[in-house]
Amino acid sequence: MITIIIPTYNRPQYLKRILSYYDEYGTAYNIIVADSSSDEIKKVNEETISSFSNLDIQYFNSYSADIN
């Protein structure tokens, strides 16, 4: 099985596009989504991911620390 890592940051349209691509070409993938988006966009991404229930997707919320 192939593992695909998809990092994303405030670009839900691209996440949907790439998940649609892998959905079209089969389900022999383990997909990891690392999301550093804003809270509002994370909700959109979570909804998008839930619409691809036939794909094996692991979703991780990540955030950047405010370093001063």
Q: pLDDT-based confidence at 62, cuts 50/70/90?
A: confident
| Residue boundaries of the structural domains of the chain | 2-61
| 13, 15, 27, 37 from 9: Cα distances, Å | 11, 9, 24, 4
Would you call 55 helix, strand, or coil by DSSP?
coil
DSSP string, 13-24: HHHHHHHHHHHH
Per residue in 21-60, pLDDT (tens digit) is 999 987 788 999 999 999 999 999 999 999 999 999 999 9
Element (H, E) at 30: strand 29-35
Across the range 4-16, mean pLDDT stands at: 97
Q: Is the pLDDT of residue 63 over 90?
A: no
Mark out the alpha helices in the chain (DSSP H runs). Answer: 12-24, 39-50
Q: pLDDT-based confidence at 16, cuts 50/70/90?
A: very high
